[in-house]
Amino acid sequence: MALPIDPGALAAAVVEARRRLLRFVERCSDEQWSSMPLGDADPRTVGTIVDHVADAYDYLGAWIDRLRRGEPAEVNRTVVDEFNARHAAATPAPSRPDVAAHLARSGDTVVALISSLSPEQPDGDDTPVVRLAHIAARHADSHRTELEAVLGFPS
């Protein structure tokens, strides 16, 4: 599904994806929340994976802010992998209330940044800022749908 370039629509997409992720958090049993359903492919708990989305909002927001101000931001797979590994090591068993608060705080920040983007982005949707905004809009749904499938949640 192609996401809109419109900053308001992109921000709304982040809000809706976060809402769906929070609904998933509410539906998880305590056992599911602390399980590692992806096994060796991803040995994080459900709680850690969900909190990872909030953590990603933090670093995506920081990059969006730097880039929109014309400052450099090192954005690549190695940097992302390092952030994710540090987060997983530091947050092995987050509580639901902590994760919900982190999602609210970091999600609100990234939504405000995306909302403040100019609708006339140079080069259309092929700029680093807009690509990062699209990632922020898709990220929560990507993890949620994977976890729902593995945990056997109804579609």
- Binned at pLDDT 50, 70 and 90, residue 21 comes out as very high
Quote the pTM value: 0.90
Which of these, 1, 11, 125, 2, lies nearest to 60 by C-alpha position? Answer: 11
The pLDDT of residue 5 is above 80: no
7-151: CATH topology is Four Helix Bundle (Hemerythrin (Met), subunit A) (1.20.120)
The pLDDT of residue 44 is above 60: yes
Q: Residue 25: count other Cβ atoms within 10 Å of its Cβ.
A: 18
Q: What confidence tens digit (pLDDT) does each residue in 84-140 have?
A: 999 999 999 999 999 999 999 999 999 999 998 877 654 445 578 888 988 998 999
pLDDT given for residue 150 in this prediction: 96
